[in-house]
A and B are shown apart, each in its own frame.
Chain A
Amino acid sequence: MLSLTCPCCGITAEETEFAPGGEAHLKRFGPGSSDEAFEGYLFARKNPKGVHFERWRHAYGCGKWFLAARCTATLEVFGTYPAQTTQPPAELIAKIKAKRPEWEGWA
């Protein structure tokens, strides 16, 4: 069972206090978008063995959504940050790069 730190209320809590929400930083495609773009938005999800950005909600706490950078293989949590952003914070990316030089980076 993971433990995560909610960046909104600052509490480090058990995984059972959170609800997972899948991949972070999806760009929404709506009416007028091409079939390919919409398919990508709706169905194509990254499934890396390694660094991954994902959504969590502090469902049984402050109720806020936040984002986490986590290694899917070792479960190392590199950091969590508020959901109101379209990309991970630069310092978090730098931190991951330092820890995982082979990481191809965020895209």
Chain B
Amino acid sequence: MSTRLAKGGRLIDRAKPLNFTFNGKPMRGFAGDTLASALLGAGQVMVGRSFKYHRPRGIVASGAEEPNALVGLGRNARFEPDQRTTTTELFEGAETRSQNHWPSLDFDIGEINDRLYKFFPAGFYYKTFMAPRAAWKHLFEPIIRKSAGLGGVPKEADPDRYEQAYAHCDVLVAGGGVAGLAAALREGRAGKRVWLVEQSAHWGGRTPVDDGQIDGVEAEDWIAAALEELESLANVTMRTRFMAAGLYDHGYVIGYESVADATPGDGRPRHRLWRIRAGLTITATGAIERPLAFAGNDVPGVMLASAVRDYIVNWAVSPGDRTVIVTNNDDAYRTALALLDAGLTVPTIVDAREETHGALPQEVKARGVRVLEGRGIARVLGRSRVTGVEICAQAGEGGAVETIACDCVAMSGGWSPVVHLWSHCGGKLIWDEPRAMFRPDPSRPPTGADGAAMATVAGAANGDLTLAETMAGFGIGACSHDEAALAPVWMMPAGATDALRYKAFLDFQNDVKVSDVQLAAREGYTSVEHTKRYTTLGMATDQGKLSNINGLAVLSDALGQPIPATGTTTFRPPYTPISLGAITGEARGDLFQPLRRTPIQSWHEAQGAHWEPVGHWRRPYCYPRKGESHSDAVGREITNTRKNVGMLDASTLGKIVVKGPDAGRFLDMLYTNMMSTLPVGKCRYGLMCNENGFLMDDGVVARLSEDMWLCHTTSGGADRIHGWMEDWLQCEWWDWKVYVANLTEQFAQIAVVGPKARALLERLGGMDVSKEALPFMHWAEGKLGDFDARIFRISFSGELSYEIAVPASQGLALWETLMAEGEALGVMPYGTEALHVMRAEKGFIMIGDETDGTVIPQDLGLSWAISKKKADFLGKRAQERSHMTDPNRWKLVGLETLDGSVIPDGSHAPAEGYNANGQRNTQGRVTSTYYSPTIGKGIALGLVLNGPDRMGEVIEFTGEGETQIKARIVETCFYDKEGEKQDV
């Protein structure tokens, strides 16, 4: 029975009791407790069930490496699954729930899996769910989905706030143990800008729990003095509850700070994600104790030896009354001392080594503890709680020589340096044979922007497992017990039978056993990375912090090769899971991404416009009236525009000014047609291609003056095209005298479209907008009413059309004035869908609809816009390639459905036969398809094999489901083919 001891507990405050619940049962702990120490203190040893076999599981560790003791924490919107009890601080009112069982923790139907373990070997899924094929969808997948996943998912949106912050420093010290403190002192005294971060709530690491003196004083006193000095240094920033989660390129470190985990809802951000640029990162991340693999090493009550003494010393929690210690090293004897000091019983120490002469074993033996040498644990007795252990010869096959009653087992398989940060960005490891561990290779560090090391390592993370070694790295004297060498024992006993290996766990969280890794080796998995994926070893949320080294030792043994020949799996950030909220930061809701607004946006909003996202803009799709569907609104807007007058907010249109003595020459290179010959005062439609020859943007170019042109681009393309121009001007023709400026947001632009457009403009007075003064494809500048206007006679609808550009500040006023003046003329706003339908009725192309990055202008019947006179333009050479000049290309045509219906978006026209992949051949596809209220039926534009040569032919397109839609190939222009309406 685990319990709270009457005395001690260096981290708890007994004057501050805290109430919490576990599966609804009220429990009590103290300020300073973790959930794990509070649960153990309240006598709760079994805290969950395992993922695969639903075996009872208890707390194994006392820190970030804990694989078992994950709980659901909180309720409703603040519920979060898989919270590590060993690193979660207890707070008043914490609600915790155990996971992975039904109906209850103590009685679980899924426990049947444990009896069937022989049927769930490594690769079970791959082997079992192969056939029949149909069973996958209807039988296997639903069952697997139901049983998959650890913990539940919260059903409501996260109410908490998260934020991100930036920091820059010369030196980041990751880890606040004695090595980290010493490193921070050294760097801080040298005047460096230092960040010292510690993942737990406490400084000093585990040295205060273990024994030792530093610089002639007790370790705890040295730590206190170090902290005092560090706090006095203005150039040192210290943060607890702050994990250095990952080390990335060029000294980029992600820090994860827990701010308000223990005070939910207090208004502060719950977590903070730090983006740190560190000149040097010193990883002082300590080491993690390894479990030993023996049958039943997962029974609740079996814990790491270091964790047992942590619970006693830090939190005054006894994990059990009678603790058997099983070890292959001297360090675990410290646990015996801690247990004895707390007045607890240590019936036996089981040491796999044949001889134990070290100072620690001697001291323990002197206090009357029985030490069994050359022994191992054959099996642990008990199911939901340890009741005893069977002792066997370590060298044997597991025949029990003795049974010892106990309620706790403290195991130690040696220590592994925490090399994660070192390894994340390329730091390499070497195998330290005497200590049986991988440690950082100082000759192969991760390197930064200057090619020099961007990380160094200190303390136990460097493999300096004793206090003296750690402090010697800083030239500081220290002493603790000498330790004799460990024996590299990974499994107990050495010749364990099948039955024992089936219950000897390596990865507790994913239920991977010694037998699974050995099976993988027999089945040919020689790479550790393959074995990992096949057995799922190390793939759980703990990322194998306890299991990886043991697993690859077992694999190496099965393969008959030394451990360094097997190597490690890749260490990937983050070190422990970080919240999605922290990664998201403030970028959610309205702040998810910036929204670009036109000067007229507020008017559209007030009208209740239905929106369509266009790049970072939101444009009105249509303006539905009360009781009107979107398609009805679109139809009304089109009809009114063609009959009376409509207005479109075209402010999003790209507007790039190109100016300079070489501007004309430059535009001749950018556009497929000739822009240098465009007379001042006139407009010309132009196409831009990339060097592959593919059409990338289009728009109307106006020549403003002798050396200045205004290029209109697509709404989504302005920034891209501006960048494209800059690229050529800066990197290819840098001696050309041209300046370009993106003025998209400096102007509001309003299209006034329809037969009554001129009448509307004339009501404002000022500029002469008659056909004679301002003909089609011309522009003029002047006062329109009170407004400073530049008016373009261009049309994307086929109607009489004026596009009026005014300074952005005048946009809304102009729009409202036009709306008011136009009321008598029947003016209505129209949205992007009406724009699209009207341009399709005219057969005008839309970049992104008719083009997809593989279409050249020649495919779209736009050869007229490609200059034959120019020696060169971007894309010209590419359009001479054989594939581009192939007469059998898909080319743009109009399509009229025979039954008047609308062809679905993306529809293909099947052709005879099948291709080499067994797919149906096609002869064309639809690029734009709409119901045309003007024509009164479905129209479409599409790319069809040799389309323009097949006028009048009827071909079939795929409709919804298995249906086919017959459509006649017609000209691309459906409306006013002569173009009379726009030129009046």
CB distance from B66 to the nearest CB of A (A): 31
A84 touches B449 (CB 8 A): no
A30 touches B447 (CB 8 A): no
CB distance from B256 to the nearest CB of A (A): 16
B786 contacts the other chain (CB 8 A)? no
> A57 with B723: in contact, given A1-B249, A84-B730 (CB under 8 Å)?
yes
Across-interface contacts of A89 in B (CB, < 8 A): none
> A55 with B250: in contact, given A29-B877, A31-B876 (CB under 8 Å)?
no
CB distance from B561 to the nearest CB of A (A): 28
A30 touches B451 (CB 8 A): no
Whole-angstrom CA separation of A35 from B691 in the bound complex:
14
> A30 with B730: in contact, given A2-B250, A42-B692, A75-B449 (CB under 8 Å)?
no
Across-interface contacts of B726 in A (CB, < 8 A): 57, 63, 65
Across-interface contacts of B692 in A (CB, < 8 A): 42
Across-interface contacts of A99 in B (CB, < 8 A): 451
Q: Which A residues from 21 to 50 make CB contacts under 8 A with B?
A: 21, 28-33, 35, 38, 41-42
Across-interface contacts of B871 in A (CB, < 8 A): 31
Whole-angstrom CA separation of A83 from B872 in the bound complex:
23
Across-interface contacts of B876 in A (CB, < 8 A): 30-31
Which residue of B250, B727, B731 has the most chain A CB atoms within 10 A of its CB atom?
Answer: B731
Across-interface contacts of B590 in A (CB, < 8 A): none
B877 touches A31 (CB 8 A): yes
Whole-angstrom CA separation of A4 from B723 in the bound complex:
20
Whole-angstrom CA separation of A77 from B447 in the bound complex:
11
Whole-angstrom CA separation of A45 from B262 in the bound complex:
54
Which of A33, A55, A77 lies in contact with B449, CB distance below 8 A?
A77
User: Looking across the interface, which residue of chain A has its beta carbon closest to that of B730?
Assistant: A65
Whole-angstrom CA separation of A84 from B252 in the bound complex:
31
> A76 with B449: in contact, given A29-B877, A42-B692, A65-B727 (CB under 8 Å)?
yes
B727 touches A57 (CB 8 A): yes
Q: Mark B861-897, 1 if CB is under 8 A from A, else 0.
A: 0000000000110001110110000000000000000
Whole-angstrom CA separation of A66 from B871 in the bound complex:
29
Which of A1, A38, A65 lies in contact with B877, CB distance below 8 A?
A38
A30 touches B249 (CB 8 A): no
User: Looking across the interface, which residue of chain B has its beta carbon closest to that of A24?
Assistant: B731
A9 contacts the other chain (CB 8 A)? no
Q: Mark B441-459, 1 if CB is under 8 A from A, else 0.
A: 0000001111100000000
Which of A28, A31, A71 lies in contact with B732, CB distance below 8 A?
A28
Across-interface contacts of B691 in A (CB, < 8 A): 28, 41-42
Whole-angstrom CA separation of A64 from B731 in the bound complex:
10
Q: Which A residues from 78 to 107 make CB contacts under 8 A with B?
A: 83-84, 99
B248 contacts the other chain (CB 8 A)? yes
Q: Mark B759-802, 1 if CB is under 8 A from A, else 0.
A: 00000000000000000000000000000000000000000000
Whole-angstrom CA separation of A107 from B68 in the bound complex:
57
Whole-angstrom CA separation of A21 from B251 in the bound complex:
23
User: Looking across the interface, which residue of chain B has its beta carbon closest to that of A8?
Assistant: B730
B136 contacts the other chain (CB 8 A)? no
CB distance from A103 to the nearest CB of B (A): 13
> A1 with B250: in contact, given A42-B878, A74-B447, A83-B734 (CB under 8 Å)?
yes
A59 contacts the other chain (CB 8 A)? yes
Across-interface contacts of B734 in A (CB, < 8 A): 83-84
B277 contacts the other chain (CB 8 A)? yes
B877 touches A59 (CB 8 A): no
Q: Mark B239-254, 1 if CB is under 8 A from A, else 0.
A: 0000000001111100
> A59 with B250: in contact, given A31-B872, A33-B877, A74-B451 (CB under 8 Å)?
no
User: Looking across the interface, which residue of chain B has its beta carbon closest to that of A66?
Assistant: B730
A75 touches B723 (CB 8 A): no
Q: Which A residues from 50 to 67 make CB contacts under 8 A with B?
A: 55, 57, 59, 63-65
B731 touches A83 (CB 8 A): yes
Q: Mark B248-271, 1 if CB is under 8 A from A, else 0.
A: 111110000000000000000000
Whole-angstrom CA separation of A84 from B734 in the bound complex:
6
CB distance from A78 to the nearest CB of B (A): 8
> A1 with B727: in contact, given A75-B449, A99-B451 (CB under 8 Å)?
no
Whole-angstrom CA separation of A47 from B112 in the bound complex:
55
Across-interface contacts of A29 in B (CB, < 8 A): 877
CB distance from B851 to the nearest CB of A (A): 19
User: Looking across the interface, which residue of chain B has its beta carbon closest to that of A35?
Assistant: B881
Whole-angstrom CA separation of A35 from B880 in the bound complex:
10
User: Looking across the interface, which residue of chain A has its beta carbon closest to that of B726?
Assistant: A63
Which residue of A2, A57, A59, A65 has the most chain B CB atoms within 10 A of its CB atom?
Answer: A65
Whole-angstrom CA separation of A95 from B692 in the bound complex:
36
Whole-angstrom CA separation of A38 from B879 in the bound complex:
12
User: Looking across the interface, which residue of chain A has its beta carbon closest to that of B880?
Assistant: A31
User: Looking across the interface, which residue of chain B has its beta carbon closest to that of A99?
Assistant: B451
Across-interface contacts of A2 in B (CB, < 8 A): 249-250, 449
Whole-angstrom CA separation of A76 from B426 in the bound complex:
13
CB distance from A52 to the nearest CB of B (A): 14
CB distance from B278 to the nearest CB of A (A): 11
CB distance from A75 to the nearest CB of B (A): 5
CB distance from B587 to the nearest CB of A (A): 13
Whole-angstrom CA separation of A31 from B252 in the bound complex:
46
CB distance from B623 to the nearest CB of A (A): 35
User: Looking across the interface, which residue of chain A has its beta carbon closest to that of B735?
Assistant: A84
CB distance from A105 to the nearest CB of B (A): 18
Across-interface contacts of B731 in A (CB, < 8 A): 21, 55, 65, 83-84
User: Looking across the interface, which residue of chain A has its beta carbon closest to that of B874?
Assistant: A30
Across-interface contacts of A75 in B (CB, < 8 A): 249-250, 447, 449
Q: Which B residues from 895 to 941 make CB contacts under 8 A with A?
A: none
Whole-angstrom CA separation of A83 from B728 in the bound complex:
11
Additional A-B contact list (4), CB under 8 Å, known A3-B449, A15-B249, A84-B730: A38-B877, A42-B692, A65-B731, A76-B447
A-B contacts, 11 listed (Cβ < 8 Å): A3-B250, A3-B252, A32-B877, A42-B691, A55-B731, A57-B727, A74-B447, A75-B250, A75-B447, A76-B449, A84-B731
Interface residues of B (CB under 8 A from A): 248-252, 277, 426, 447-451, 691-692, 723, 726-727, 730-732, 734, 871-872, 876-878, 880-881
A-B pairs with the 10 shortest C-beta distances?
Answer: A76-B451, A84-B734, A65-B730, A83-B731, A3-B250, A30-B872, A1-B252, A31-B877, A77-B449, A30-B877
